[in-house]
Amino acid sequence: MHTYKTQKDLELYLDSMRENGKNIALVPTMGGLHDGHLSLVDKAKSLAEIVIVSIFVNPTQFARGEDFDDYPNTFESDKLLLQSKNVDALFLPSKEEIYPHGTLSDYKVGAIGQILCGAFRPSHFDGVAQVVKRFFEIVKPNYAVFGEKDFQQLLIIQSLVKNLNLNLKIESMPTQREKDGLAMSTRNQYLSDLDRERAPHFYRVLCDVRDSILIENSLTDAKKDAIKRLSQNFEVEYLEVLDANNLTQIETKTKEIIIISAIRFGGTRLIDNVVFRRMNV
Ligand code: PAF
């Protein structure tokens, strides 16, 4: 696996690959890799001959007081995992390499970045869009792969590609889960043993909301009941039942639905979602 730290060196390598007719797939990460990330790598490998993984903890998507300084750094094991997947190149840029002209961004995500997670982390998605746009500029991939756990992020990146008319395809992979249902996340490392035992309750409640809607119970009641149950263990930031295509309110005819939520407990913030299809509407 090649390792590149500068845009210039990575570009030289990528240009030679493109000259040889190879397609390129990018998996952007912030490190702290787990099986969820590896599923993105597998997807990338199925799409293109050359797979690039970036590890960059992007300062502009963290607000003051968030976990930028403490974000898990598991670099040695990340590298071994990527080698074991035969990743072609690892891109490890510095902040100066990514933001040579400073961190002011010219791309604003708009309304979809202000709801759900964006209501609690107001500058977060502008920072995500800024860094992802920059990675697309540097790597010029044919494909980029993201996880569905960060569902709002995924839709925002899809709309970035559309708004800027970029010539690449966004692909996604379903959330990978621990045996007890907890969505894999780098931040699960922050959980105490007791909180780790409690955490799978989050996903169980989201599945119960889905099951309740599928048997045509009232959506408002299902949501209210879920918030009540979650609140017994966690602080609920939000729990919404929305149209999975655009995160707007569902209508009687909406088929693809997402139950999407963020909770906090013991100083850790977790997000998760369940997407499903209503057949008989
Ligand atoms: O999902 C993440 O890990 C990050 O938000 C991303 C897409 C790598 C941008 O920093």
Per-residue pLDDT of the chain (281 residues; tens, 9 = 90+): 999 999 999 999 999 999 999 999 999 999 999 999 999 999 999 999 999 999 999 999 999 999 999 999 999 999 999 999 999 999 999 999 999 999 999 899 999 999 999 999 999 999 999 999 999 999 999 999 999 999 999 999 999 999 999 999 999 999 999 999 999 999 999 999 999 999 999 999 999 999 999 998 899 999 999 999 999 999 999 999 999 999 999 998 999 999 999 999 989 999 999 999 998 77
Among 26, 30, 126, 139, residue to substitute to test ligand 1 (most atoms within 8 Å of Cβ): 30
CATH 3.30.1300.10, applies to 186-272: yes
pLDDT at 71: 97
**b/e burial code for range 152-172 (CB count within 10 A of at least 16 → b):** bbbbbbebbbeeeebebebbb
Which tokens is 113 given? 């970045």
Taking only the tens place, the pLDDT of each residue in 74-132 is: 999 999 999 999 999 999 999 999 999 999 998 999 999 999 999 999 999 999 999 99
Would you kindly state where each structural domain of the chain is located, as residue ranges? 2-173, 186-272
CA–centroid distance, 251 to ligand 1, in Å, is 31
Strands in 235-243's sheet, in edge-to-edge order, are: 235-243, 256-265, 268-277
Which tokens is 274 given? 């369940």
CA–centroid distance, 156 to ligand 1, in Å, is 12
pLDDT at 65: 93
* Residue of the CA atom closest to atom 6 of ligand 1: 29
* Residue of the CA atom closest to atom 9 of ligand 1: 128
Q: SS3 breakdown of the chain: % helix, strand, coil, rounded to 5?
A: 45, 20, 35
First and final CA of the chain: distance in angstroms?
50
CATH of region 2-173, choose from 3.40.50.10800, 3.40.50.620, 3.50.50.60, 3.90.79.10: 3.40.50.620
**b/e burial code for range 4-14 (CB count within 10 A of at least 16 → b):** beebeebeebb
pLDDT at 216: 84
pLDDT at 21: 98
CA–centroid distance, 154 to ligand 1, in Å, is 10
Task: Tell me which residues have their CB closer than 6 angstroms to ligand 1.
Answer: 28-30, 58, 61, 128, 131-132, 150, 153
CA–centroid distance, 16 to ligand 1, in Å, is 27
CA–centroid distance, 28 to ligand 1, in Å, is 6
pLDDT at 266: 87
* Residue of the CA atom closest to atom 5 of ligand 1: 128
Task: List alpha helices for 87-150, DSSP H.
Answer: 95-98, 117-120, 124-139
CA–centroid distance, 229 to ligand 1, in Å, is 30
Q: Which atom of ligand 1 is nearest to the CA of 150?
A: 1
Q: How many other CB atoms are found less than 10 A from the CB of residue 84?
A: 11
3-class secondary-structure state, position 133:
helix
Q: Which atom of ligand 1 is nearest to the CA of 135?
A: 9
Which member of 37, 101, 124, 201 is catalytic?
Answer: 37
Q: State residue 254 phi and psi, 5-degree precision.
A: -65, 130
Catalytic residue list contains 201: no
Which tokens is 101 given? 């002209």
pLDDT at 10: 98
Q: Which atom of ligand 1 is nearest to the CA of 58?
A: 10
pLDDT at 201: 98
Q: Which atom of ligand 1 is nearest to the CA of 186?
A: 3
Cβ(259)–Cβ(206) under 8 Å? yes
Among 103, 131, 149, 187, residue to substitute to test ligand 1 (most atoms within 8 Å of Cβ): 131
Of 157, 98, 85, 87, whose CA–CA distance to 126 is shortest?
157
pTM (whole model) above 0.85: yes
Cβ(135)–Cβ(160) under 8 Å? no
Q: How many other CB atoms are found less than 10 A from the CB of residue 254?
A: 17
